Structure 1
Amino acid sequence: MLTELLSGWITHQRWFAGKGRPIDELHVESDIELRPGLRHLIISVRQAGERDRYQLLLGAEGETDGRFSHARIGEGYYDALYDPDLTGTLLEAMADDRDLGPLRFRHLEGVEIDTSLRSLVLGAEQSNTSLVYGETYICKLFRRLIPGVNPELEIVTALARHGAGHIAQPYGWIETDLDGEPTTLAMTQEFLATANDGWALALTSVRDLYASLEPSASDAGGDFSSESYRLGVATAEVHRELAAAFPTGVMESQDVKQMVEDQRRRLAQAITEVPDLVEHARVVEDAYQRVADVVSEIPVQRVHGDYHLGQVMRTTTDWVVLDFEGEPGQPLAERRALSSPLRDVAGMLRSFDYAARHLLADNPDAGSLRPRAVEWAELNRSSFLAGYSAGGGSLRAEDAVLLRALEMSKAVYEVTYEARNRPAWLPIPMAAFQAGR
């Protein structure tokens, strides 16, 4: 009976990865009682010969008086993450370092967890569900489970132990073993209740510029360049802290050439999906060839891997970097692999372009505003790079060649993504290949 209810319910959840495909088989792989009326389930779902696992906190309807009808799974059951009377159990178990069957609840050494706080589900996330406890903690539960330690937990706990300053303090996590590997189920960090999202701050600056009578982005009231500079400094410091906390390496000449060939293949694939990209292929190819000609080796280390303005928060004192999970959809091994820190720099530079241009979509004044968008992007890109260099980030002439190629590679990826998901935004990455941007 429960498996039938879950089969009908799970396909309608935002975090379910198999939408549009029939479920061949669903079974409950693990069912652990956390307390009376609260069970932790790991659900195995087979579709077209592939298996995915998901986790669920299952509540039993009884004395709930219909309060959780929005989270109802079916007769007698609901998604208990929405029940603050039950979710306190997660904090309590982390604070006590409990083992409940195969589930291990842990907290970071030296921290204390306030178990009196009540939770609230935060927003509607695509692949996770986050609980905010008071204004103190945010607990992210990874709905779709991938065997292995989540890179975000691995990175933030290591950085916290090294005294890093640009992260949200980690407090605890939940883990189990899947396919013989310790696997992260959830992690709890400091909730930045009064911080501002970097993307939102940048868009406010762009709106102010578009509405301003001032002729220059640096003269308009919403000038963001000082924040971009500070963000560059913070980014360099995070890269330095990552290099201290994890092993580093060097990509040798042969591997550099292989990387260039991989980028060329991705460009060819993108052109098959977006034929208009072919007229810009020479610009991209030239950037790749410069790497092959000039760069003999590349220092590599752990990096953020999916770095943009939406992954940083401005507190009252400084910038904080979030979501070290890496690029969504990539295998765990790739997300944990060593890479050039300039990959993160390239991602942020592309994000400045997006912030400057995305408000031009469907804007009747786009033609007259476009020069201002270009100016805003260039001002903030240069300020970020200046801050990155001041913070100790490497930006030699050889690094500039690699950075240019990584930007082109990121823009090629964006072209494919926008063509598939947001065609109205396609002009944003296409502009990256044009002279004068």
Structure 2
Amino acid sequence: MSEAATHSTATSPAPPPAMEPTPGLLHSLEPLLREWLPRQRWFAGKGRPVTGFSLVAGTELLPMGSGAKAGLLHLLVRAHQPLLPSQGAAAHPGPGDCYQLLLGVRAALPPRLAPALIGHVAEGPLAGRTVYEALHDPRLADVLLEALRSQTRIGDLRFSRDMRHDIQEGLVPRLVTSEQSNSSIVYGDTFILKLFRRVVSGANPDLELPLMLSREGCPRVPAPAAWMVADLGSDANPGTHVLGVLQPFLQGAADGWELALSMLAKGEDFAAEARALGRATAEVHTALTRALPTATLGRPQLELLVEGMTERLEAATQAVPALRPYAPGLRSAFEALSDLAAEGRTWSAQRIHGDLHLGQCLRSPSGEWSLIDFEGEPSKPLAERRMPQPVVRDIAGMLRSFDYAAHSLQPPATDWASTCRAAYCSGYADVAGTDPRTDPVLLRAYETDKAVYEVVYEARHRPDWLPVPLAAVHRLATDPCTDIP
């Protein structure tokens, strides 16, 4: 019987009392981390060398001395890197990004865990031991679930839960292996634990907003069942860092992106799904206005918003020469918004999803849509991600996602995208009472800003995809009215 099968019936042991990692531990791990960390999908500093590490916090969740075959180290490690040349020599390099690492420690790694290998420690307190990615190991994944279930406090780590959720013992863990900007473990097809890799101090929207929506009774967002935080009190690393959120696993749910691609490839209409997704988005936005304060954006706020969009466009044209011929037309999208603000036009702002696209949506077997992953764009500062913004920003992200799906076919299914965009806006209007298309200047500005971001991203990471946002840029810059469904 496999180890995972054994754990499906056995009771997971309670985590032992916390132990601080032995002095010198990080120094001994540094050669391994320099090689392993930059290769991870969730590492944000790709393209820049790591010059050093510093330990923010560390806890032995499962010490090797406890009689276990494997130990479990929880580390918050800051990776120090030089700035990119484009960031300017005068800029301060900053403290570096902080990453959450869960490291397994064994005398020898069994073959089934070979893909999780980080390396063999040559010196220090773990000399002669093998270190590996702990989330691949069911024994160690069990420790996290039991800590959440029992609301344990271990050193700087605090595990909390909502007692309305029944978290059973012995749920079989499996690591989600698809590429993500974080890491996820599914427990028994009942819960999914999302562990944030790049962490910052403050209220993470991926816990904050689903908790708020749960209290509002919004069914479109899975309610957090438990969460994991680090309470740090030092001057260098103050405050609470949200480390992970446990939510119900929507068994049998279809990823919105994969579903759209599948239906498109088979020539099936996606308009009904797009309309239902528009209604779900509006339900979430409406619930957020009940749960949290809203704001009014007047001329001063709009001028700052337009200034930011314009600066991003200027930086993008420097980074991607193919964008330069379209710059005047794209700039006009932002100028039109500035002109309306100068005339006294105002807009409402509220908390939103912040990074909405088809891949952030799940459709249940019953046909209901849910929105997930409220973290926002991890590359942006937390304070910016938590600022009230026009709902059109979320809508523009989804409209761009339909366009991306349409380009999975050659030639692109532009009529399919237009139909989906129109259906999504109509569905949104069914619930919100206001159709996003009735504010074309604001919608065009946000779509333009999103397309410019996509051009830079694709040029850096996926050059083969660059024609997708460039096609949108061409439409938005030359005949903007045709890009509004």
Give the match's secondary structure for 1:147: coil
Q: Encode CA deviations 1:145-177: one digit per residue, 9 max, x unaligned.
A: 222221111111111121111112311111012
Closer, same or farther in 2 for the Cα pair 1:161/1:63, shift >3 Å?
Answer: farther
Closer, same or farther in 2 for the Cα pair 1:123/1:257, shift >3 Å?
Answer: same
Alignment map for 1:161-240 (pairs within 5 Å): 161-178=215-232, 179-209=237-267, 222-240=268-286
Closer, same or farther in 2 for the Cα pair 1:271/1:166, shift >3 Å?
Answer: same
Closer, same or farther in 2 for the Cα pair 1:20/1:164, shift >3 Å?
Answer: same
- Specify the code of the residue in structure 1 equivalent to 2:96: R
Give the match's secondary structure for 1:268: helix
Q: Once the 2 structures are TM-superposed, how far is the Cα of residue 256 of structure 1 from its aligned partner?
A: 1.3
Query: 2:429 touches 2:436 (CA, 8 Å); kept in 1?
Result: no
The answer on 1:328 being equivalent to 2:378 is yes
Query: 1:102 touches 1:176 (CA, 8 Å); kept in 2?
Result: yes
The answer on 1:107 being equivalent to 2:161 is yes
Q: 1:131 aligns with which of 185, 195, 201?
A: 185
Q: 2:43 aligns with which of 4, 7, 16?
A: 16
* Structure 2: unaligned runs, 5 residues or longer: 1-27, 83-92, 121-128
Q: Encode CA deviations 1:254-308: one digit per residue, 9 max, x unaligned.
A: 2113322322222222222333334333432333233223351110000011111
Query: 2:425 touches 2:436 (CA, 8 Å); kept in 1?
Result: no
The equivalent of 2:465 in structure 1 is 425
Alignment map for 1:29-40 (pairs within 5 Å): 29-35=56-62, 36=66, 37-40=71-74
Percent identical pairs in the alignment equals 44
Q: Encode CA deviations 1:32-73: one digit per residue, 9 max, x unaligned.
A: 222332232222332335423222222221486443222123
Q: 2:388 aligns with which of 328, 338, 341?
A: 338
Closer, same or farther in 2 for the Cα pair 1:14/1:259, shift >3 Å?
Answer: closer
Aligned partners of 2:304 and 2:101: how far apart in 1? 42
* Structure 1: unaligned runs, 5 residues or longer: 210-221, 361-365
Closer, same or farther in 2 for the Cα pair 1:405/1:110, shift >3 Å?
Answer: same
Give the match's secondary structure for 2:250: coil
The equivalent of 2:310 in structure 1 is 264
Give the match's secondary structure for 1:73: strand
Aligned partners of 1:324 and 1:396: how far apart in 2? 21
Aligned partners of 2:439 and 2:153: how far apart in 1? 48
Q: Once the 2 structures are TM-superposed, how far is the Cα of residue 387 of structure 1 from its aligned partner?
A: 0.4
Closer, same or farther in 2 for the Cα pair 1:393/1:99, shift >3 Å?
Answer: farther
Aligned partners of 2:320 and 2:132: how far apart in 1? 44
Aligned partners of 1:20 and 1:266: how far apart in 2? 21
The equivalent of 1:380 in structure 2 is 420
Aligned partners of 1:6 and 1:336: how far apart in 2? 32
Query: 1:85 touches 1:118 (CA, 8 Å); kept in 2?
Result: no
Aligned partners of 1:275 and 1:331: how far apart in 2? 27
TM-score, length of structure 2 as denominator length: 0.80
Closer, same or farther in 2 for the Cα pair 1:113/1:342, shift >3 Å?
Answer: same
TM-score, length of structure 1 as denominator length: 0.89
Query: 1:294 touches 1:398 (CA, 8 Å); kept in 2?
Result: no
Query: 1:104 touches 1:175 (CA, 8 Å); kept in 2?
Result: yes
- Specify the code of the residue in structure 2 equivalent to 1:61: R
- Specify the code of the residue in structure 2 equivalent to 1:115: E
Q: Once the 2 structures are TM-superposed, how far is the Cα of residue 359 of structure 1 from its aligned partner?
A: 2.5
Q: 1:61 aligns with which of 87, 103, 106?
A: 106
Query: 1:347 touches 1:410 (CA, 8 Å); kept in 2?
Result: yes
The equivalent of 2:209 in structure 1 is 155
The answer on 1:349 being equivalent to 2:394 is no
The equivalent of 2:347 in structure 1 is 298
Closer, same or farther in 2 for the Cα pair 1:59/1:204, shift >3 Å?
Answer: closer
The equivalent of 1:251 in structure 2 is 297
Deviates more, 1:19-28 or 1:313-322: 19-28
Closer, same or farther in 2 for the Cα pair 1:56/1:274, shift >3 Å?
Answer: closer
Aligned partners of 2:316 and 2:38: how far apart in 1? 30
Q: Once the 2 structures are TM-superposed, how far is the Cα of residue 314 of structure 1 from its aligned partner?
A: 0.7
Q: Once the 2 structures are TM-superposed, how far is the Cα of residue 397 of structure 1 from its aligned partner?
A: 7.1
The answer on 1:74 being equivalent to 2:108 is no
Give the match's secondary structure for 1:185: strand
Q: Encode CA deviations 1:342-388: one digit per residue, 9 max, x unaligned.
A: 1001111111111112322xxxxx3xxx4xx1211111111111100
Aligned partners of 1:21 and 1:309: how far apart in 2? 31
Closer, same or farther in 2 for the Cα pair 1:426/1:104, shift >3 Å?
Answer: same
Query: 1:236 touches 1:393 (CA, 8 Å); kept in 2?
Result: no
Aligned partners of 1:21 and 1:169: how far apart in 2? 38
Deviates more, 1:12-21 or 1:241-250: 12-21
Deviates more, 1:384-393 or 1:395-404: 395-404
Closer, same or farther in 2 for the Cα pair 1:234/1:66, shift >3 Å?
Answer: same
- Specify the code of the residue in structure 2 equivalent to 1:185: L
Closer, same or farther in 2 for the Cα pair 1:205/1:5, shift >3 Å?
Answer: closer
Closer, same or farther in 2 for the Cα pair 1:21/1:270, shift >3 Å?
Answer: closer
Give the match's secondary structure for 2:244: strand
Closer, same or farther in 2 for the Cα pair 1:124/1:338, shift >3 Å?
Answer: same
Query: 1:358 touches 1:425 (CA, 8 Å); kept in 2?
Result: no
- Specify the code of the residue in structure 2 equivalent to 1:302: R
The equivalent of 2:455 in structure 1 is 415
Query: 2:425 touches 2:437 (CA, 8 Å); kept in 1?
Result: no
Give the match's secondary structure for 1:307: coil
The equivalent of 1:215 in structure 2 is none
Give the match's secondary structure for 1:182: strand
